[in-house]
Amino acid sequence: MSFEPKILGIACNWCTYTGADLAGTTRLQYPQNLRVVRVMCSSRINPSFIFRAFQLGADGVLVGGCHPGDCHYNTGNLYARRRLAVTKKILEFSGLESGRFRVEWISASEGNKFAEVVTEFTEQIKKLGPQIKFKISQ
Amino acid sequence: MVISFKQIEEKLKTEAKRLLGESQVSIVLAYGKGYDENHPMPYVARNPSDVDNIVFNEYCNYNLARYLVRYPAGTKIAVAVKAADSRAVIQLIQEEKVKREDLVLLGIPVYGMKNPKTHEIIDGKTTGGLYNPVLYDILLGDEVHGQAIQSPYDVLAAYESMDKEARFAFWKKEFDKCIRCYACRKACPMCYCDPCFIDQTKPKWGDKSPQSHGNLMYHLTRFHHLAGRCIDCGECSRACPVDIPLYLFHKKVAKACEEMFGQAAGMSIEDKPALVNFRVDDSDKFLE
């Protein structure tokens, strides 16, 4: 049986989640490995969510937000951009493959981009294989 | 030029006596006698007669900025600060935990501080390449010049040459030693959250017992909370009873923050901490 990764998607309500909706209503095909959690803004994401997801067995984490400058709350994703950049560095410094965490800006009208990003990211995680470094062993 | 620790001690006593005597401050945070020469302790002088207990020697490397947040707002405090400690004070002022006008900073220009455990000189690891306090009201002694200034990031070279598998193995080994005494948190001048995220039960972020997954969660999140705020005093690694080199990770994150956001922690009162600030033209490259 081929490896089917578990990917946590954290999507902003106003852009990426609506974009995912659009991808659905336009019947675009993308892999089913993504489990999406909706948050009100990408700056709502506590970095511990990401560490915790890896500990609980996620093979990859994809964060989606509005394009910088288009945030529903004006500045939320500008804070998130700095914060998530640090999260990425910390994961990298601790020795996790840096390809397992990805941040993408996807607007509500970019259903195509959403499908593309998910397809590409799933392929990438499949290549990296199961994530065992952070996972809590039972 | 040799720094005389005795001279600094005398000046510290004189200034402390004067400030307390004139009621300019209600407490003076300095160093006092410990159980032996090598282990001085933080000391709080409240009366002019307490001042005689103050000592200063090469093992006085505690960061006294740690104690500032323990006193109610508005308490007038004089505090002895070395180079890295003054950056901690600046960072606390930036974060509005203390007010500049409540503080009298007794700057200590010094090099040649030693680690009481190993007796090695710790300047390169802890002073962030600085010997003179960044901010002070009264300087005890002359500014130090002419010492070879090490880059604060020199000690990272060995760690940076590791690949990701070696890095993971390295940190796994180190974090597995952790006994979760939280001495790093207690010693850190920037760790003032109440309650700390790891003490919360709703949500429960990580296990509190010393097991590798809980340790990983605790340390990684702590590194994240100190990103752009760590002022490189090295107290966490010196306080650690099992000698986890936490300063390596903190320095690495500090270096990344400096490269990404162009700002080192605790260098100017005017700055805002890097992670509660943004620029519209921050690069998306950092996320790739």
pLDDT of residue B71: 92
- Shared domain for B51 and B116, answered yes or no, is yes
Q: Is the peptide bond before B195 cis (omega within 30 degrees of 0)?
A: yes
Chain B nearest CA to A18, separation (Å): 22
- Chain B residues contacting A, CB < 8 Å? 164-172, 197, 205-206, 213, 216-217, 220-221, 223-224, 227-228, 249, 252-253, 256-257, 260-261, 274-280, 282, 284, 286-287
State the average pLDDT over residues B102-119.
Answer: 86
Decide which of B115, B139, B163 is a domain's last residue: B139
- Shared domain for B127 and B215, answered yes or no, is no
- In CATH, the architecture of A7-128 is 3-Layer(aba) Sandwich (3.40)
A7/A62 Cα distance (integer angstroms): 7
Chain B nearest CA to A16, separation (Å): 17
Residue B215 burial (CB count, 10 A) = 23
- Shared domain for B51 and B121, answered yes or no, is yes
Residues B248-280 pLDDT 10s: 999 999 999 999 999 889 889 998 999 999 999
Are the Cβ atoms of A52 and B217 closer than 8 angstroms?
Answer: yes
The DSSP call for residue B200 is -
What does the DSSP assignment read for A53-112? HHHTT-SEEEEEEPPTT--TTSSHHHHHHHHHHHHHHHHHHTT--GGGEEEEE--TT-HH
Q: Name the pairing type of β-strands B41-45 and A60-65.
A: unpaired
B162-180 b/e with 16+ CB inside 10 Å = b?
A: eeeeebbebbeebbeebee
Are the Cβ atoms of B257 and A86 closer than 8 angstroms?
Answer: yes
Domain of residue B100, residue span:
5-139
A125/A35 Cα distance (integer angstroms): 14
A30/A23 Cα distance (integer angstroms): 9
State the average pLDDT over residues B149-165.
Answer: 81
- ipTM entry: 0.93
Residues 6+ apart with CB under 8 A from B204: none
Are the Cβ atoms of B282 and A78 closer than 8 angstroms?
Answer: yes
Residues 6+ apart with CB under 8 A from A127: none
Residues B13-52 pLDDT 10s: 999 999 999 999 999 999 999 898 888 999 999 999 999 9
Residue B148 inside a domain? The answer is no
Half-sphere exposure (CA, 13 Å, Cβ side) for B217?
27
Domain ranges of chain A: 7-128
DSSP strands (E only) in chain B:
27-32, 41-45, 77-81, 103-107, 138-139
Residues A31-80 pLDDT 10s: 999 999 999 999 999 999 999 999 999 999 999 999 998 999 999 999 99
Residue B223 inside a domain? The answer is yes
- Shared domain for B185 and B244, answered yes or no, is yes
Residue B147 inside a domain? The answer is no
Are the Cβ atoms of A82 and B274 closer than 8 angstroms?
Answer: yes
- Shared domain for B131 and B176, answered yes or no, is no
Instruction: Calculate the alpha carbon distances from A109 to A42, A74, A76, B148 in Å.
Output: 17, 18, 19, 57
Residue B201 burial (CB count, 10 A) = 8
Q: pTM for this one?
A: 0.93
- Shared domain for B170 and B257, answered yes or no, is yes
Decide which of B139, B164, B194 is a domain's last residue: B139
Domain count, chain B: 2
Q: Which helix (DSSP H) or strand (DSSP E) does residue A39 occupy?
A: strand A34-39
Are the Cβ atoms of A85 and B227 closer than 8 angstroms?
Answer: no
- Shared domain for B158 and B135, answered yes or no, is no
Mean pLDDT taken over chain A: 94
